[in-house]
Every structure is written in structure tokens, then in C-alpha cells.
């Protein structure tokens, strides 16, 4: 999918978040990367094959 030089990392690599955003919706909290991964502001991800990656950032406790 990526036509950048050097090419962006594929969606199944550990450094997939280094890919360039092709669509960004900060008001909705997500971006589509050129490798097909969708990254969310909470650090969760949706991969092109439908797998999910849980957020790495702790969610604040409700008081």
C-alpha cells in the first residue's frame, strides 16, 4: 500500500505506528496509516486483518 521512499513499516511489524498517516480525524480520535492500520488516541489499534491491539496507555480511574 505504501508508495513512500523508504517504504513505511507493514501493519504486522512492531514499528507499524511509524507509517505515515493518510487520513486523520483528531476530533474523533483516530488516524488511518498508509500501511492500513487505524491508530486511536488511546494508543489502541485496529489492524487491516481485523485484529485489535489493546491500548498501552493506562485508562484513568473514575473518581
pLDDT in tens, 4-61: 788 999 999 999 999 999 999 999 999 999 999 999 998 899 999 999 998 887 666 6
Residue 62 or 51, more confident? 51
Residue 62 lies in a domain: no
Among 40, 19, 43, 42, which Cα is nearest to 31's?
A: 40
Residue 44 lies in a domain: yes
Residue 6 lies in a domain: yes
Distance CA 15, CA 22 (A): 17
Residue 35 lies in a domain: yes
> What beta strand segments (E) does 1-63 contain?
21-25, 30-33, 38-40, 45-46, 52-53
pTM: 0.81
Residue 63 lies in a domain: no
Number of structural domains found in the chain: 1
Amino acid at each position: 500500500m505504501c508508495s513512500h521512499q523508504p517504504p513505511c513499516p507493514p501493519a504486522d511489524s512492531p514499528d507499524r505506528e511509524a507509517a505515515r498517516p493518510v487520513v486523520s480525524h483528531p476530533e474523533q480520535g483516530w488516524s488511518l496509516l498508509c500501511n492500513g492500520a487505524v491508530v486511536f488516541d488511546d494508543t489502541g489499534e485496529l489492524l487491516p486483518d481485523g485484529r485489535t491491539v489493546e491500548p498501552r496507555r493506562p485508562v484513568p480511574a473514575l473518581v
